[in-house]
A and B are shown apart, each in its own frame.
Chain A
Amino acid sequence: MSKLISGATGEWEVVIGLEVHAQITSNAKLFSGAATEFGAEPNTQVSLVDAAMPGMLPVINAYCVEQAVRTGLALEAQINLYSIFDRKNYFYADLPQGYQISQYKQPVVGEGIITLDLKDGETKDVGIERLHLEQDAGKSMHDQHPTMTYVDLNRSGVALMEIVSKPDMRSSEEAGAYLKKLRTILRYIGTCDGNMEQGSMRADVNVSVRRPGGPLGTRCEIKNVNSVRFVQQAIEYEARRQIDVIEDGGKIVQETRLYDVAQGVTRSMRSKEEAHDYRYFPDPDLLPLELDPAWVDKIKAGLPELPDEKKNRLMRDFGLSVYDAGVMVSEPEIGVYFEEVARGRDPKQASNWVTGSLFAALNAKGVSITESPVTAANLGKLIDLIADNTISGRIAKDVFEIMVETGGDPAKIVEEKGLKQITDTGFIEGIVEKIIAENPGQVAQYDGGANPKVIGWFVGQVMKQSQGKANPAQVNELLKKKLG
Chain B
Amino acid sequence: MSELTDLTIAGALSGLDKGEFTSRELTRAYIAEVENGRALNAFTTETPEKALEMAGAADAARRSGDAGPLNGIPLAIKDLFCTKGVLTTASSHILHGFKPPYESSVTSNLWRDGAVMLGKVSLDEFAMGSSNETSFYGPVQNPWRTTDGKARVPGGSSGGSAAAVAARMAAAATGTDTGGSIRQPASFCGLAGIKPTYGRCSRWGIIAFASSLDQAGPITRTVEDAAIMLRSMAGYDPKDSTSINTPVPDYRKALTGDIRGLKIGIPQEYRMDGTPPDVLALWDRGIQWMKDAGAQIVDISLPHTKYALATYYIVAPAEASSNLARYDGVRYGLREQGGNLIEMYENTRGAGFGEEVQRRILIGTYVLSAGYYDAYYLKAQKVRTLIAQDFEQAFGRVDAILTPTAPCSAFSPGEKSDDPISMYLNDVFTVPASLAGIPGMSVPAGVCGAGLPLGLQILGRPFEEETVLKVGHVIEQAAGFSARPRIWWKEAA
CB <8 Å contact, B322 and A48: no
CB <8 Å contact, A55 and B331: no
Give the complex CA separation of A51 and B330 in angstroms. 10
Question: Which positions 256-290 of chain A face chain B at CB distance < 8 Å?
Answer: 277, 279-281, 284-287
In the assembled complex, A396 has its CB within 8 A of some CB on chain B: no
Q: B residues within 8 A CB of A57?
A: 203-204, 239-241
Interface size on A, residues (CB 8 A): 30
In the assembled complex, B124 has its CB within 8 A of some CB on chain A: no
In the assembled complex, A200 has its CB within 8 A of some CB on chain B: no
Give the complex CA separation of A194 and B88 in angstroms. 43
In the assembled complex, B206 has its CB within 8 A of some CB on chain A: yes
Question: Which positions 86-118 of chain B face chain A at CB distance < 8 Å?
Answer: 88, 90, 95, 98, 100-102, 104
CB <8 Å contact, B102 and A48: yes
Q: B residues within 8 A CB of A91?
A: 325, 328, 345
Stretch from B257-265, B364-372, B473-481 at the A interface: B364-372
Closest chain-A Cβ to B131's Cβ sits at a distance in Å of 23
Q: A residues within 8 A CB of B121?
A: none
CB <8 Å contact, B241 and A151: no
CB <8 Å contact, B102 and A53: yes
Closest chain-B Cβ to A474's Cβ sits at a distance in Å of 77
Is chain A's interface secondary structure helix, strand, loop, or mixed overall? loop
CB <8 Å contact, A96 and B241: no
CB <8 Å contact, A279 and B322: yes
CB <8 Å contact, A58 and B241: yes
CB <8 Å contact, A55 and B205: yes
Give the complex CA separation of A58 and B241 in angstroms. 7
CB <8 Å contact, A51 and B241: no
CB <8 Å contact, B332 and A53: yes
Picked from B81, B240, B322, B341, the residue with its CB within 8 Å of the CB of A99 is: B322
Question: Which positions 156-209 of chain B face chain A at CB distance < 8 Å?
Answer: 203-208
In the assembled complex, A98 has its CB within 8 A of some CB on chain B: yes
Q: Which partner residue on chain A sits nearest B211 by CB separation?
A: A284
Picked from A51, A53, A277, A287, the residue with its CB within 8 Å of the CB of B369 is: A277
With A89-B322, A89-B325, A97-B326 known as contacts, the answer to whether A54 contacts B241 (CB < 8 A) is: no
Question: Which positions 343-396 of chain B face chain A at CB distance < 8 Å?
Answer: 345, 365, 368-370, 373, 377
In the assembled complex, B233 has its CB within 8 A of some CB on chain A: no
In the assembled complex, B454 has its CB within 8 A of some CB on chain A: no
Q: B residues within 8 A CB of A422?
A: none
CB <8 Å contact, A281 and B373: yes
Picked from B88, B328, B330, B369, the residue with its CB within 8 Å of the CB of A54 is: B88
Which of B206, B212, B331, B369 has the most A CB atoms < 10 Å from its CB? B331
CB <8 Å contact, A281 and B377: yes
Q: B residues within 8 A CB of A299?
A: none
Closest chain-A Cβ to B413's Cβ sits at a distance in Å of 28
Q: A residues within 8 A CB of B445?
A: none
In the assembled complex, A444 has its CB within 8 A of some CB on chain B: no
Interface size on B, residues (CB 8 A): 43
In the assembled complex, A253 has its CB within 8 A of some CB on chain B: no
Q: B residues within 8 A CB of A279?
A: 321-322, 365, 368-370, 373
CB <8 Å contact, A281 and B322: yes
CB <8 Å contact, A98 and B325: yes
Q: Which partner residue on chain A sits nearest B349 by CB separation?
A: A91
CB <8 Å contact, B322 and A87: yes
Q: A residues within 8 A CB of B377?
A: 281
CB <8 Å contact, A98 and B211: no
CB <8 Å contact, B328 and A98: yes
Q: A residues within 8 A CB of B102?
A: 48, 53
In the assembled complex, B36 has its CB within 8 A of some CB on chain A: no
Picked from B101, B204, B330, the residue with its CB within 8 Å of the CB of A96 is: B330
In the assembled complex, B41 has its CB within 8 A of some CB on chain A: no
Q: B residues within 8 A CB of A58?
A: 241
Q: Which partner residue on chain A sits nearest B202 by CB separation?
A: A57
In the assembled complex, B319 has its CB within 8 A of some CB on chain A: yes
CB <8 Å contact, B239 and A99: no
CB <8 Å contact, B341 and A149: yes
In the assembled complex, B238 has its CB within 8 A of some CB on chain A: yes
CB <8 Å contact, A151 and B330: yes
Which of A52, A53, A54, A285 has the most B CB atoms < 10 Å from its CB? A54
Q: A residues within 8 A CB of B81?
A: 55
CB <8 Å contact, A287 and B82: no
In the assembled complex, A303 has its CB within 8 A of some CB on chain B: no
With A54-B95, A54-B100, A55-B104 known as contacts, the answer to whether A99 contacts B241 (CB < 8 A) is: no
CB <8 Å contact, B204 and A89: no
Q: A residues within 8 A CB of B324?
A: 98
Closest chain-B Cβ to A42's Cβ sits at a distance in Å of 14
Q: B residues within 8 A CB of A286?
A: 241
Give the complex CA separation of A91 and B328 in angstroms. 8
Closest chain-A Cβ to B483's Cβ sits at a distance in Å of 37
Q: Which partner residue on chain B sits nearest A283 by CB separation?
A: B211
In the assembled complex, B443 has its CB within 8 A of some CB on chain A: no
In the assembled complex, A478 has its CB within 8 A of some CB on chain B: no
In the assembled complex, A93 has its CB within 8 A of some CB on chain B: yes
Closest chain-B Cβ to A403's Cβ sits at a distance in Å of 54
In the assembled complex, A60 has its CB within 8 A of some CB on chain B: yes
CB <8 Å contact, A54 and B325: no
Picked from A51, A55, A87, A96, the residue with its CB within 8 Å of the CB of B206 is: A55
With A91-B345, A277-B369 known as contacts, the answer to whether A59 contacts B238 (CB < 8 A) is: yes
Closest chain-B Cβ to A17's Cβ sits at a distance in Å of 22
In the assembled complex, B45 has its CB within 8 A of some CB on chain A: no
CB <8 Å contact, B208 and A96: no
Q: A residues within 8 A CB of B242?
A: 284-285, 287
Closest chain-B Cβ to A61's Cβ sits at a distance in Å of 12
Q: Which partner residue on chain B sits nearest A282 by CB separation?
A: B381
In the assembled complex, B318 has its CB within 8 A of some CB on chain A: yes
Q: A residues within 8 A CB of B370?
A: 277, 279
| Contact digits for A280-313, partner B, Cβ 8 Å, 1 yes 0 no | 1100111100000000000000000000000000
Give the complex CA separation of A284 and B151 in angstroms. 39
CB <8 Å contact, A54 and B365: no
Give the complex CA separation of A99 and B321 in angstroms. 11
Q: B residues within 8 A CB of A55?
A: 81-82, 100, 104, 203-208
Closest chain-A Cβ to B376's Cβ sits at a distance in Å of 11
Closest chain-B Cβ to A152's Cβ sits at a distance in Å of 13
In the assembled complex, A245 has its CB within 8 A of some CB on chain B: no
Question: Which positions 20-77 of chain A face chain B at CB distance < 8 Å?
Answer: 48, 51-60
Which of A57, A92, A277 has the most B CB atoms < 10 Å from its CB? A57
Q: Which partner residue on chain A sits nearest B332 by CB separation?
A: A53
CB <8 Å contact, A54 and B326: yes
Closest chain-A Cβ to B242's Cβ sits at a distance in Å of 7
Q: Which partner residue on chain A sits nearest B369 by CB separation?
A: A277
CB <8 Å contact, B341 and A93: yes
Q: Which partner residue on chain B sits nearest A90 by CB separation?
A: B325
Q: B residues within 8 A CB of A149?
A: 341
Give the complex CA separation of A60 and B332 in angstroms. 25
CB <8 Å contact, A56 and B204: yes
Closest chain-A Cβ to B100's Cβ sits at a distance in Å of 7
Q: B residues within 8 A CB of A99?
A: 322, 325
Give the complex CA separation of A280 and B98 in angstroms. 29
Give the complex CA separation of A277 and B330 in angstroms. 22
Closest chain-B Cβ to A473's Cβ sits at a distance in Å of 73
Sample of 21 A–B contacts (CB below 8 Å): A51-B331, A53-B82, A53-B102, A55-B206, A55-B207, A55-B208, A56-B205, A57-B203, A57-B240, A60-B241, A89-B321, A89-B368, A92-B341, A99-B322, A99-B325, A149-B341, A279-B373, A281-B318, A284-B210, A284-B212, A285-B242
Chain A residues within CB distance 8 Å of chain B = 48, 51-60, 87, 89, 91-93, 96-99, 149, 151, 277, 279-281, 284-287
6 closest A-B pairs by CB = A98-B325, A279-B368, A284-B212, A284-B211, A52-B326, A55-B205
Beyond A53-B82, A98-B326, A284-B211, 13 additional pairs, beta carbon < 8 A = A48-B101, A52-B326, A54-B207, A54-B208, A55-B104, A55-B203, A55-B205, A91-B345, A97-B325, A98-B328, A149-B341, A280-B373, A281-B322
